[in-house]
Copies of this chain bind each other. A is one copy, B any other.
Amino acid sequence: MGGDHAPAQTVAGAVAAVRDGVPVLLVGDRELLRPLIPAGVDLPIHHAPGLVAMDTHRPVAAVRATPEPSVTAAMRLVREGDACAAVSCGHTGATMAAGLLVLGRLPGVERPAITLLVPRTDGGRLTVLDLGANVDSRPQHLVQFAAMGHAFAQAVAGLAAPRVGLLSNGEEPGKGDERVREAGPLLAASSLPFVGNVEPTAAFRGACDVLVCDGFVGNVMLKTVEATAEVVTHILREEILHHPSAKAGAWLIRPALRRVRDRTDYTSQGGALLLGVQGVVVVGHGRSDATAVRSALRYAARCAEEGLVDRVERALATLSGGATGPLAAPLAGGEDLQ
């Protein structure tokens, strides 16, 4: 039910996923959803008429509201074993809050992390976390992110030996802000294959496979990628419009530009994962169209098939002692759910 193009595009994406062989259960208002399902498509509906407003600033209250919002109902289906993963393109904060409150955290996880696979220049893909689930992380949280990201890169990105880097403003061990300077030695002392501080430029060239950071800087980084792509495209369009010969050239490279967009648009990869909760939760982009929804559903199915949650749980259990620290108290009021 959530997202800028729901429910028409979300249902169309679900239909496409079913045709791909992914069993899907729609969660939302039956009266609105049923007319959108073509005859002969096996797409059951779990009726949950509640909605989270896309512009709410109080996601925790919203997911606890009555009637139960569809995103909360979806998490409940995962918790009770009626679904193996939940996908939402609705309010990101609400999806995180519902995942956290209904599914709960894995043992050893103090804070879940938004995780994304992004393309690198060397043809590989970089696992980045946290992209905004939390701010003001403590150093040990970055170690937990590293363990979760490492397990994810093995299970989903298909890497036998992913290397872990720590996002920083310089490569030498003394670089970084206070959090990074403290997390470095913890990561070096852990059982993870830690390659040290990594700058964004080096990370995108392949200096590491998993890049960990606090959610504030990670979120700024993610949005800077979007903003840069936008600025470059805008200036390119301007330059092309002012030069007739370039116009013809632009027409010829249109298919290439489209493939560039497909390869750099993370929605085509299925969206982001909320790692660290007791279930597979895919956080799709609010702008998702049917293609993105279909990718997100396939991605969620794949994560479940690969046993991602069990693997993340085992990775956290085998983290070398001390770095994980005691479990924190449950989140109060969701202040750090961004």
Interface residues of A (CB under 8 A from B): 57, 119-121, 132, 135-136, 167-170, 172, 174-178, 180, 199-201, 203-205, 213-217, 219-221, 223-232, 234-236, 239-240, 243, 245-246, 248-257, 259-260, 263-264, 335, 338
Contacts and interface: CB of A to CB of B under 8 A. Distances in A.
A252 B249 contact: yes
Contacts of A229: 228, 232
A256 B228 contact: no
Given A225-B224, A252-B248, A252-B252, A177 B236 contact: no
Contacts of A170: 338
Contacts of A180: 216
Contacts of A203: 227
Question: Taking the full assembly, how many copies of this chain does it contain?
Answer: 2
Contact of A224 (B224, B251, B253, B264): B224
A221 B224 CA distance: 6
Contacts of A227: 200-201, 203-205
A2 to B, nearest CB: 18
A119 B228 CA distance: 10
